[in-house]
């Protein structure tokens, strides 16, 4: 008996602007923090940048045709803030908006629903120069940008996500420094996390006021499944600390209008949280229509000492990460689909009535074109099959999961890993920009066609 998904289930794929668009200095676009960061020696493998990436800016029709061939019902992409509002202030650049209008129109003509993310880490460099996400003004600027985008695109796009993975933006960008802008300051990272939350809430209010009443508002989080090594109290506490600064720092303000008390206690040596002002939590908890979840793998944690600088303020003195058992991807991430089921069941219980979307899930492997030009990726097919089965089991167990967006459509610029890691179901030869659907693209097309998995 096949494992079929509910009628109307959204079958999608996802990308991010800086990772695929290229055209980094065309039509008024100015540098983002990733343009700056990728040019710093030693920050990105091989000195790679997103200047050209997958050249999607010039290949929209070709790429949408690939999506249609796979059978996608939905396509999740991000807007480049510095393409629309180059300095992070003032009026929008019409050529930037025209690019996204044309993309949305091409998608709609192909019968694919456009799903837009306002922020996938490409902060205009001028806003970082003014202090970046640790500053409250950045959240206010983001709400203005959200309004510009909604006014221009709200007639074409009905699903809007404010932020993608604010944990990464805050703690990899300002804590460990492995992502742009490359700062290493625990206090700044905590301030950034709050102001990203505030940016989400302020933008959600603007979107509600600007978009049609039927528009769907969402937020995408990379929630962490942190499993204690043993049942010893100190290992259980290590997992609690990671849950506080990895998950509940966003879930509690957004869905409950509060800060986690244990997070405040864990970080009391770093901050008194006085940057949280009256009214902030009310804004952050503006109701949304769905929650996006990005999941790749679980983690095993125990009491001990982590690396420094760490993306886990309040935890590094007491938490260490251990290798998880089982096979691993080319990112050296463990493959364990049970973590996705575990996460979805948790959210079923903790957020009743909140529809869920898997907005990213996928794996990098060392793909290559064989002499005949084909790209065989059986490990990716196995990974995707197992994780979709976990989603199917979670739905059977009562989780309200409405869709699945595979990461990613195209091989792309993989942040600090440059072009050395391939997540796409479509292979990109970056020298020629030739696209070649991998076996996983054909497999996904079959899954979508039958509405589920073969079992």
Closest CA to 124 of 96, 89, 151, 166: 89
Alpha helices in 48-185 (DSSP H): 60-70, 81-84, 94-109, 125-129, 136-153, 166-167
Q: Which sign does the torsion angle of CA 351, 320, 183, 40 carry?
A: negative
Question: Distance (Å, rounded) from C-alpha 430 to C-alpha 447?
Answer: 28
Question: Distance (Å, rounded) from C-alpha 140 to C-alpha 159?
Answer: 22
Collapsing DSSP states into helix, strand and coil, what is residue 82?
helix
Select which of 106, 135, 165, 414 is catalytic: 165
Ramachandran category for residue 277: left, alpha or beta (phi over 0 → left; psi -120 to 50 → alpha): beta
Closest CA to 338 of 377, 301, 298: 298
In the structure encoding, which two tokens stand for residue 441, read together? 């693209």
Q: How far is CA 238 from CA 12, 167, 302, 308, 351, in A?
A: 35, 18, 6, 16, 24
| 165 in catalytic set | yes
Select which of 106, 360, 379, 414 is catalytic: 360
The residue whose two tokens read 């061939």 is: 69
Could you write out the DSSP letters of every residue in 226-251? EEESSSSHHHHHHHHHHHIIIIIHHH
| 382 in catalytic set | no
Closest CA to 156 of 201, 205, 232, 105: 105
Contacts of 86 (CB under 8 A, 6+ apart): 28, 29, 30, 93, 124, 126
The residue whose two tokens read 């769907």 is: 216
Q: For the packed helices 378-396 and 439-450, what is the interaxial angle rounded to 10 degrees?
A: 30
The residue whose two tokens read 């979307």 is: 357
Which residues are the active-site residues? 165, 360
């Amino acid at each position: 008996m096949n494992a079929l998904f509910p009628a109307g289930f959204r079958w999608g794929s996802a990308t991010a602007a800086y990772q695929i668009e290229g055209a980094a200095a065309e039509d008024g676009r100015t540098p983002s923090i990733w343009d700056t960061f990728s040019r710093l020696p030693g920050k990105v493998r091989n000195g790679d940048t997103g200047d050209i990436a997958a050249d999607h800016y010039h290949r929209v029709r070709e790429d949408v045709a690939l999506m249609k061939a796979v059978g996608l019902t939905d396509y999740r992409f991000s807007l480049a803030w510095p393409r629309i509002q180059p300095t992070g202030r003032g009026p929008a650049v019409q050529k930037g908006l025209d690019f996204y209008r044309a993309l949305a129109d091409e998608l709609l003509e192909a019968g694919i629903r456009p799903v837009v993310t306002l922020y996938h880490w490409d902060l205009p460099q001028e806003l970082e120069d003014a202090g970046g996400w640790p500053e409250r003004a950045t959240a206010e600027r983001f709400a203005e940008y959200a309004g510009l985008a909604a006014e221009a695109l709200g007639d074409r796009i009905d699903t809007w996500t404010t932020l993608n993975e604010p944990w990464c933006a805050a703690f990899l960008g300002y804590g460990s420094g492995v992502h742009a802008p490359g700062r290493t300051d625990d206090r700044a990272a905590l301030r950034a996390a709050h102001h990203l939350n505030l940016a989400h809430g302020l933008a959600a209010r603007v979107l509600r006021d600007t978009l049609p009443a039927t528009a769907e508002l969402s937020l995408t989080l990379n929630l962490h499944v942190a499993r204690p090594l043993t049942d010893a109290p100190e290992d259980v506490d290590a997992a609690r600390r990671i849950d506080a600064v990895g998950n509940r720092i966003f879930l509690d303000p957004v869905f409950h209008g509060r800060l986690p008390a244990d997070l405040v206690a864990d970080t009391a040596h770093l901050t008194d949280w006085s940057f949280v002002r009256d009214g902030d939590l009310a804004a952050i908890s503006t109701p949304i229509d769905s929650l996006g979840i990005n999941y790749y793998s679980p983690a095993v944690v125990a009491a001990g000492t982590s690396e420094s600088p760490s993306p886990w303020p309040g935890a590094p003195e007491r938490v260490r990460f251990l290798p998880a058992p089982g096979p691993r991807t080319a990112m050296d991430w463990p493959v364990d689909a049970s973590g996705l089921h575990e996460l979805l069941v948790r959210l079923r219980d903790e957020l009743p009535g909140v529809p869920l979307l898997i907005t990213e899930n996928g794996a990098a492997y060392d793909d290559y074109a064989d002499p005949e030009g084909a790209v065989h990726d059986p490990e990716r097919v196995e990974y995707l099959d197992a994780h979709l089965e976990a989603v199917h089991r979670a739905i059977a167990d009562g989780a309200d999961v409405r869709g699945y967006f595979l990461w990613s459509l195209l091989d792309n610029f993989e942040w600090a890993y440059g072009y050395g890691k391939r997540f796409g179901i479509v292979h990109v030869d970056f020298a020629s920009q030739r696209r070649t659907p991998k076996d996983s693209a054909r497999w996904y097309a079959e899954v979508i066609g039958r509405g589920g998995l073969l079992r």
